Amino acid sequence: NAGVMQNPRHLVRRRGQEARLRCSPMKGHSHVYWYRQLPEEGLKFMVYLQKENIIDESGMPKERFSAEFPKEGPSILRIQQVVRGDSAAYFCASSPTLAASTDTQYFGPGTRLTVL
């Protein structure tokens, strides 16, 4: 029973390049969340997606950042024209469904992005 998978685990980019981070949710989970953790900080919500739909992107920077969760394949967090301030750990979480009570979100191991 595989957990949430993220790849790559480490990603180095130069300023101005693009970064693509992938997340495969746990089997049977249809909800994906992306969070960012800056050094010495807690995790900050970025975006919540279901298959083919963005439900809440209130935490996403207005420019350069985008996310998708296609019908087939993993969820992708895309950062265009990266800057040094984008260096952080990016975590993906998944949950099975939004039923009567909140479902626990299970996290992947994260992708550590370093922008040179």
Partner 1 sequence: DQQVKQNSPSLSVQEGRISILNCDYTNSMFDYFLWYKKYPAEGPTFLISISSIKDKNEDGRFTVFLNKSAKHLSLHIVPSQPGDSAVYFCAASETGGSEKLVFGKGTKLTVNP
Task: Give the number of residues in contact with partner 1, rule: CB under 8 A.
Answer: 30
Residue among 59 and 74 whose Cβ is closer to partner 1: 59
Question: Per CB under 8 A, which of residues 5..24 are in contact with partner 1?
Answer: 6
State the binding string over 22-61 for partner 1 (x if CB under 8 A, else -).
-----------x-x----xxxxxx--x------xx-xx--
Question: Per CB under 8 A, which of residues 74..93 are in contact with partner 1?
Answer: 91, 93
SS (H, E, C) the chain: CCCCEEECCEEEECCCCCEEEEEECCCCCCEEEEEEECCCCCEEEEEEEECCEEEECCCCCCCCEEEECCCCCCEEEEECCCCHHHCEEEEEEEECCCCCCCCCCEECCCEEEEEC
